[in-house]
Chain A
């Protein structure tokens, strides 16, 4: 494993831990998006650009949108 890959894996682990430990919903939405971005970097470092693109669109468009609407729904009730 080259150092760049080790750094990328470390970032994924740190971001994943941060997501698990966060309780505030808005922070959670932002952090899970950032977690998705660390996965994108990880896949790119491993030379898997197609998977990186899929993770990018799901992690930065799909999930944040659904979470944002869920938070808004929760506040409207």
Chain B
């Protein structure tokens, strides 16, 4: 196809796509005037029904808890896929020495590890009181471990995240979520129905099963991200060892 006809084809399809997009945007609700009644309804109902002050958490871990189970399993399978693909292609005996990092990078990196870890735990623990929750806090905790490696401490990183322990935490998170749902069924409710005492809104003891599911997803997310980071780091280490020779 000549350059001229390709440009013509592009111009025609870009104009068509542009027109369709403009048409779609013209049909959207006005900016800031969202039409779904569901959000307004939950904002009114959730604080009194579930005794939590973060309605997003109540939606994610209660009203839409089943969707979150699916999302957890997506992350679970994705991390498993990364591990299966990369572990298989690598020689397990390869172990690198210390990477060269400047003192400044090591000092600043390691200084931020406890900060990130505590921040992650706070975000998890208060997920149903203030913005945050298992996903965000879980990634922060995993980030603290990644920072250990970035600061040049490969061996410390691997000692802190032994694969059997990471796999165990990951399975406990995903399984714990499902088991909580089944427990609700054994007690006569629907799958993932809230069955624990609701407590006082705005305190750590509130929300019934929401804190349990929040913790389960935090374990799953933190472990899944640590697992993915570990596989990438090991892959890099194997390539560096095998390179040049």
Does A21 lie at the interface of the complex (its beta carbon under 8 Å from any beta carbon of B)? no
Does B52 lie at the interface of the complex (its beta carbon under 8 Å from any beta carbon of A)? no
Asked if B31 contacts A1 (CB within 8 A), the reply is yes
Across the interface, A76 reaches (CB within 8 A) one of B31, B57, B131, B240, namely: B240
Cα separation A54 to B60 with both chains bound (whole Å)? 13
Q: Which 6 A-B pairs have the closest CB atoms?
A: A49-B131, A57-B139, A61-B143, A69-B232, A53-B136, A50-B56
**B32 CB to nearest chain A CB (Å):** 7
8 residue pairs of the A-B complex, CB under 8 angstroms, read: A5-B31, A50-B56, A50-B57, A52-B131, A57-B139, A61-B139, A73-B235, A76-B239
Does B15 lie at the interface of the complex (its beta carbon under 8 Å from any beta carbon of A)? no
Cα separation A69 to B231 with both chains bound (whole Å)? 11
**Contacts from B to A (Cβ < 8 Å):** 31-32, 54, 56-57, 123, 131-133, 135-136, 139-140, 142-143, 146, 150, 225, 228-229, 232-233, 235-236, 239-240, 243
Asked if A73 contacts B236 (CB within 8 A), the reply is yes
Total CB contacts across the A-B interface at under 8 A: 54
Asked if A62 contacts B139 (CB within 8 A), the reply is yes
When distances are taken between beta carbons in the complex, the residues of chain B under 8 Å from A77 are 239, 243
| A53-B136, A61-B225 known, 17 other contacts, Cβ within 8 Å | A5-B31, A50-B54, A50-B56, A50-B132, A50-B136, A54-B136, A56-B136, A57-B139, A57-B143, A62-B225, A65-B143, A65-B229, A65-B232, A72-B236, A73-B239, A77-B239, A77-B243
**A53 CB to nearest chain B CB (Å):** 4
Within residues 21 to 66 of chain A, which ones have a CB less than 8 A from any CB in chain B? 49-50, 52-54, 56-58, 61-62, 65-66
- If A61-B139, A61-B143, A77-B243 touch, whether A50 touches B225 (CB-CB below 8 Å) is no
**A54 CB to nearest chain B CB (Å):** 6
Cα separation A43 to B30 with both chains bound (whole Å)? 18
By beta carbon, the residue of chain A nearest B221 is A57
By beta carbon, the residue of chain B nearest A66 is B232
When distances are taken between beta carbons in the complex, the residues of chain A under 8 Å from B142 are 61
When distances are taken between beta carbons in the complex, the residues of chain B under 8 Å from A1 are 31-32
Asked if A50 contacts B133 (CB within 8 A), the reply is yes
Cα separation A69 to B123 with both chains bound (whole Å)? 27
When distances are taken between beta carbons in the complex, the residues of chain A under 8 Å from B56 are 50
- If A1-B32, A53-B132, A66-B232 touch, whether A76 touches B243 (CB-CB below 8 Å) is yes
**B42 CB to nearest chain A CB (Å):** 13
